[in-house]
Chain A
């Protein structure tokens, strides 16, 4: 095991990242369940734009990230369930705002690089608190939302049939996803956050034997990929975000080669 994991200098960044490496794959399982995995990229892009805007006006950039992603989730909820169309619109909106801010406010350039490349090694105790808080609160919220989200996916209209609305569950999950992506984008960058949502859940959907085991598998794949990326990036003096993404892509390729997936029989 590398000395990097034991170095006090990197302890806070490591713990911050591992908290997101556990929580984002779980979020990805439910985004994929709703066929809304594009939400991860949309919320991450909005969060990046919000962070830049907040930094320019002198506010904490984590606050800007959460507010921007939260506004996106609220807008989507108000416009009813727009699915990936709504998320695609948010993604290009976030990108456009971020690029315009960069072009017109030079001071934003440094932060923009940090957001898009990932700035894990520069995270401090406030990032760790946000990551740990999200792991605990987000995990508990997902546990509470799990049954209604699964029911609505497998037996659509289950709550409406008894005169109950499922809207509160959908809106609650949208806000939870927005908060998770906003906080993680501010710590590990846009594409690393998206990769942790997208790839571990893809592997789990392909080879997981049931839902409960698939949740554990997704969290395991996410955290193992993260630890490997953290060590390799430090040892080879490389930026963390791209190294994590490369490892996740390799994991995705291996998973695709494994037997699994839908094996529906006829009759």
Chain B
């Protein structure tokens, strides 16, 4: 690990994948409170990078080093695996220890409701909030605005800006405005075999 005391996590020439590498080598240092945007075309390995940082997937080359004791939350691109689990929205937030303070007025009344009675956009918003507002050092957000309407997107953007400097984030998104206005810096990824110019 680099001797920078503020570094939470560092990758050196990391190449990850599943049965084979699906991304070019990535070297990246994430410091406390820093928001890094990750963008690139479909299939360049953005989600795989997040999986590797969250300790999942297979690392084929390079390394991931994390500061001991660093707390990480990973918001998956896939929807919550609900099936018929009778869990309420409020219970989901309590599970991660996420604060409900600052929840927008259109979502707060839904907290007593079962998750499987919510819309896809409402669920996605809650899933991101559950990670974002948990007592965590680093949040890995994978397409956090998928299915979320304009009001929800603006709310998430405002929350990320508010938490900037306090919680580190790696934000994968296809929305240029969202990623540019939420991030301190941006990592551009290219499909495997191609390198950024």
**A interface residues (Cβ-Cβ under 8 A, vs B):** 33, 35, 147, 150-151, 153-158, 160-163, 204-206, 208-214, 261-267
Asked if A154 and B95 sit within 8 Å, CB to CB, the answer is: yes
CB distance from A89 to the nearest CB of B (A): 24
Asked if A212 and B91 sit within 8 Å, CB to CB, the answer is: yes
Report the separation of the CA atoms of residues A156 and B79 in the bound assembly, to the nearest whole angstrom. Answer: 11
Report the separation of the CA atoms of residues A63 and B191 in the bound assembly, to the nearest whole angstrom. Answer: 59
Choose the segment among B18-26, B27-35, B40-48, B115-123 that binds chain A (4+ C-beta atoms closer than 8 Å).
Answer: B115-123
CB distance from B184 to the nearest CB of A (A): 22
- B84: interface (CB < 8 Å): yes
- Chain A residues whose CB sits within 8 angstroms of the CB of B166 once the complex forms: none
What are 5 A-B contacts defined by CB distance under 8 Å?
A147-B95, A158-B96, A160-B54, A206-B84, A262-B116
Asked if B76 and A209 sit within 8 Å, CB to CB, the answer is: no
- Chain B residues whose CB sits within 8 angstroms of the CB of A162 once the complex forms: 70-73
- Chain B residues whose CB sits within 8 angstroms of the CB of A262 once the complex forms: 82-84, 116-117
Asked if B55 and A160 sit within 8 Å, CB to CB, the answer is: yes
Taking A157-B55, A211-B87 as given, write out 4 further A-B residue pairs in contact, using a Cβ cutoff of 8 Å, ordered by the A residue number: A150-B87, A261-B116, A262-B116, A264-B118
Asked if A156 and B86 sit within 8 Å, CB to CB, the answer is: no
Asked if B117 and A264 sit within 8 Å, CB to CB, the answer is: yes
- The contact of A210 among B76, B86, B119, B147, by CB within 8 Å, is B86
Asked if B81 and A156 sit within 8 Å, CB to CB, the answer is: yes
**Proximity string of chain B (83-126) to chain A, C-beta cutoff 8 Å, 1 when within and 0 when not:** 11111101110011000000000000000101011111100000
Report the separation of the CA atoms of residues A147 and B95 in the bound assembly, to the nearest whole angstrom. Answer: 6
- The contact of B54 among A147, A154, A161, A267, by CB within 8 Å, is A161
Asked if B121 and A33 sit within 8 Å, CB to CB, the answer is: no
- Chain A residues whose CB sits within 8 angstroms of the CB of B112 once the complex forms: 209-210
Report the separation of the CA atoms of residues A161 and B54 in the bound assembly, to the nearest whole angstrom. Answer: 4
- Chain B residues whose CB sits within 8 angstroms of the CB of A163 once the complex forms: 55, 66, 70, 72
Report the separation of the CA atoms of residues A263 and B113 in the bound assembly, to the nearest whole angstrom. Answer: 11
- B130: interface (CB < 8 Å): yes
Asked if A265 and B118 sit within 8 Å, CB to CB, the answer is: yes
- The contact of B117 among A147, A157, A158, A263, by CB within 8 Å, is A263
Contacts A153-B81, A210-B112, A263-B117 given: A160-B88 contact, CB under 8 Å? no
CB distance from B80 to the nearest CB of A (A): 6
Report the separation of the CA atoms of residues A4 and B130 in the bound assembly, to the nearest whole angstrom. Answer: 51
- The contact of A263 among B72, B86, B116, B147, by CB within 8 Å, is B116
Report the separation of the CA atoms of residues A210 and B56 in the bound assembly, to the nearest whole angstrom. Answer: 31
Report the separation of the CA atoms of residues A211 and B117 in the bound assembly, to the nearest whole angstrom. Answer: 14
Asked if B114 and A210 sit within 8 Å, CB to CB, the answer is: yes
- B168: interface (CB < 8 Å): no
- B140: interface (CB < 8 Å): yes
- The contact of B84 among A150, A156, A261, A265, by CB within 8 Å, is A261
CB distance from A226 to the nearest CB of B (A): 22
CB distance from B195 to the nearest CB of A (A): 29
- Chain A residues whose CB sits within 8 angstroms of the CB of B164 once the complex forms: none
- Chain B residues whose CB sits within 8 angstroms of the CB of A208 once the complex forms: 86
Asked if A211 and B86 sit within 8 Å, CB to CB, the answer is: yes
Asked if B88 and A210 sit within 8 Å, CB to CB, the answer is: yes
Asked if A205 and B85 sit within 8 Å, CB to CB, the answer is: yes
- Chain B residues whose CB sits within 8 angstroms of the CB of A157 once the complex forms: 54-56, 74, 76
CB distance from B85 to the nearest CB of A (A): 6
- Chain A residues whose CB sits within 8 angstroms of the CB of B87 once the complex forms: 150, 154, 210-211
**Proximity string of chain B (55-67) to chain A, C-beta cutoff 8 Å, 1 when within and 0 when not:** 1100000000010
Report the separation of the CA atoms of residues A79 and B117 in the bound assembly, to the nearest whole angstrom. Answer: 36
Contacts A156-B81, A204-B86, A210-B88 given: A161-B117 contact, CB under 8 Å? no
Report the separation of the CA atoms of residues A43 and B193 in the bound assembly, to the nearest whole angstrom. Answer: 51
Report the separation of the CA atoms of residues A209 and B114 in the bound assembly, to the nearest whole angstrom. Answer: 6
Asked if B76 and A156 sit within 8 Å, CB to CB, the answer is: yes
CB distance from B189 to the nearest CB of A (A): 20
